[in-house]
Amino acid sequence: MAPMTSFADLTTIAVGGPIARFVEPTSRVGVIEAVEDADSKGLPLCVIGGGSNLLVADEPFDGVVVRDARRLITVPDEAAPVEGGERIVHVNAEAGCNWDDFVAFTVEIGLEGVEGLSGIPGTVGASVVQNIGAYGQEVATSVESVEVWDRQTKQTKDIPACEMGFGYRMSMLKASMYAAPAVPAEAFFPTPRYVVLSVTFALRHSPTGTVGYGQLAKALGVEVGDRMETGAIRSAVLKVRAAKGMLEDAGRYAQPAMAGTKRAEQIAVAVKAQSAQSGSRSAQPDYDRRSCGSFFMNPILTPEAAAVLPEDAPRFDVVLPDGSAGVKTSAAWLIDHAGFHKGFRIDPESKAGLSSLHTLALTNRGGAAAADVAALAKAVQDGVEARFGVRLVPEPVVVGLNLR
């Protein structure tokens, strides 16, 4: 009998317990049926993407895990500019499509809009749940509509971008899972009420894109706001992410549980880049790649709470969901200034530690259990709260563990 699939097999941090039933539907109807079957039986349901934003307990998951095996990308419009100068091109991707495969595809056919989001692990479906963002771009700015299965009404629905409730690492899909920050909702957790089936993007036909972030501009030797070839922006983003330890381990796609989830040519590119970086003097240890990426969200505070922070703490003005003024600060800055250095471990024998390159990533140094990662996260949360009065909120979906 084949060994039982576990979350350790499916997640980028490589921890988590065995799964009672793991299914990979290959059709739109199959996805809906798998979700409906679990819901009708009252079974715990986890719809998983690339496993990059997920931390699951070590105990067995006595429910159903669904991973969409559909990865088709289609371009219903003309990919080239049409008569009259219309430059908007619509691209549809099925939810199971690897996100970086999608970015590479759009750059290759000359489209602008998501090149700054290169190298983010996960899937197209997960991208809109989380509203992924990096280097001056957010997925929200390129989404036209999202096709979902509504688990409550038992119907499919097309949600326009204006109704998606996009915010910083937030959407109405993600919001349906939580009663409060890091507090799971009673009805829909760890899978949102709305299960993504496909996403339609509105991108722009252009060989160049805007460099919208200082660190990226420095890597390219240009100014913020300058325009560069989208391929050059993508390459620079991948290099910057690699230097910060924020690329997943490309070797995971050689594992049986990950077979077929990423295009072979893009795996080859990732493996080559990883090998080159591993051979450099500043090479990151292999364990730095076994993480959930950024583990904590940047806190958004009231102006009064932000005023209590040290004078040199980063501050960025934002608008809160209710329309009032807020201030975003840096979780990485808070962690570092609370005394948690790069490579920090609770004790020298701990199998979980902060990345050697970025304090915002919690890593599996080899053989770590979910409990080890959770203990490290708790230590960081408690330390930051004691020093600054701010409770950090996990960015990943945390299942079976309490990290409030």
What percent of the chain is modeled with pLDDT above 90? 82
Does the structural domain 7-67 have CATH classification 3.30.43.10?
yes
* Residues 131-144 pLDDT 10s: 999 998 999 999 99
Give me the sign of the Cα torsion angle 216, 221, 227, 232.
negative
> How many Cα neighbours within 13 Å face the side chain of 172?
11
For 66-77, what is the mean pLDDT? 94
Per-residue model confidence (pLDDT) at position 281: 47
Question: Which CATH code is given to the segment(s) 289-399?
Answer: 3.90.78.10
Model pLDDT, residue 254? 92
Residues in contact with 322: Cβ distance below 8 Å, sequence separation at least 6, in sequence order: none
Instruction: Tell me the pairing of strands 143-150 and 194-205.
Output: antiparallel
Of the listed ranges 8-22, 150-164, 284-298, the least confidently predicted one is: 284-298
Report which of 345, 290, 256 is spatially closest to residue 13, judged by C-alpha positions: 290
User: Which CATH number describes the domain made up of 73-239?
Assistant: 3.30.465.10
Tokens of 291: 């993480």
Domain ranges of the chain: 7-67, 73-239, 250-285, 289-399
**182-to-36, 157, 194 alpha-carbon distances in Å:** 26, 27, 19
Q: Is the pLDDT of residue 82 over 90?
A: no
Q: Answer for the pair 123, 49: CB distance below 8 angstroms, yes or no.
A: yes
Active site residues: 169, 294, 395
Residue 288 CA to residue 250 CA, distance in Å, equals 12
Least confident of 28-32, 114-118, 245-249, 319-323: 319-323
- Average confidence (pLDDT) over 348-359: 94
In tens, the pLDDT along 210-227 reads: 999 898 999 999 999 999
Residues 232-289 pLDDT 10s: 999 999 988 888 878 898 989 999 999 999 999 999 888 877 776 665 544 556 778 8
